Amino acid sequence: MDILSLSHIAKRFGGKQVLTDVSFLVPEHTVFGFVGQNGAGKTTTMKLILGLLASDSGEISVNGRKVRYGSTAANRMVGYLPDVPEFYPYMTPKEYLCFCGGITGMTAKESRERSEELLCLVGLEQENRRIRGFSRGMKQRLGLAQALFGRPKLLICDEPTSALDPVGRKELLDLLVSVKEQATVLFSTHILSDVEHICDEIAFLHGGRIVLQGSLEEVRARRKATATELELEQPKDAQRLLSMFPCLKPIGSNRLLLEMAGALPDILHALADKRMPILRIERQEASLEDLFLEVVGK
């Protein structure tokens, strides 16, 4: 089942066409990577899904319910984590979450129990100090707890790791993977290594359009390998092999790159025949960064 559906969405601001015919589906219980460069229109898309902006054309639905600008019942099924979540700094994490529970109509007991559950999930159960003293990573984890408070079917995360240090990024990414059984995650980012670590499905946004989408495996299958790297023991042997096979490219004193897979058997035969000691032969898999740069024409 698809939790989120965007069909032929377009959005213009003045003379600038931000989105043009954007369509994609987000399956239930997946981490969906919505990938694009800064300024590609990712945040605009998030705001359209939340009903905070009106699209010029097209249709958006969450769990089968149509999203309507300004007044959408679909938002009851959506949790939202912005790139920079804001809080009342004089509150403690538990006070803040209980406050959120009160706004949604929960009883004090329900709010307290849900707050304790979520603070344990995000690793803040021992934090009783005021939020003003929190690090950026701690605020992101509290923001995730708040976004999950109403048990949403869809969790939207807009660039949640863009300003975190490596430890904070890993902690948040691990949390997003852990919650996908509770809520489908739409993960907007320009950090492709994060996408490779946690996403099941991907859509690449460029020039206001979806230029590539599919499962991580399907996207990677477009370029299964880019090259083979050979590392020889002696630099002189590398130079000798290079003179024998012009298709090789030097990438170091004793390292060579082969981009023509068909030449590999002949090269291996030459290595054995000339008794050239070799340290390593490694087939390089294409990264998402390679593929993204390829499809956007960079």
pLDDT tens-digit series, residues 253-295: 899 988 887 888 999 999 999 899 999 998 877 677 777 777 7
The amino acid that residue 261 corresponds to is A
Angle between helix 136-147 and helix 166-178 axes, rounded to 10 deg: 10
- Calculated CA dihedral for residues 99, 101, 103, 104, nearest 10 degrees: 170
Q: Can you tell me the distance from the alpha carbon of 168 to that of 163, in angstroms, rounded to the nearest whole number? A: 9
State the pLDDT at residue 212: 87
pLDDT tens-digit series, residues 2-39: 899 999 999 999 989 999 999 999 999 999 999 988 88
State the pLDDT at residue 260: 80
pLDDT band at 193 (very low <50, low <70, confident <90, very high): confident
Give φ, ψ of 167 to 5 degrees. Answer: -65, -45
* E strand or H helix at 109: helix 108-121
DSSP β-bridge partners for residue 12: 17
Nearest one of 288, 238, 235, 287 to 258, comparing CA atoms: 238
What integer is the mean pLDDT of 144-150? 93
State the pLDDT at residue 22: 94
pLDDT tens-digit series, residues 43-101: 999 999 999 999 999 999 999 999 999 877 888 899 999 888 899 999 999 999 999 99
What integer is the mean pLDDT of 184-212? 90
State the pLDDT at residue 196: 86
pLDDT tens-digit series, residues 209-262: 998 888 888 887 776 556 888 999 999 999 999 899 988 889 888 999 888 878
State the pLDDT at residue 112: 92
State the pLDDT at residue 253: 87
What integer is the mean pLDDT of 139-155? 93
pLDDT tens-digit series, residues 105-142: 889 999 999 999 999 999 999 988 999 999 888 999 99
Indicate the DSSP class of residue 178.
H
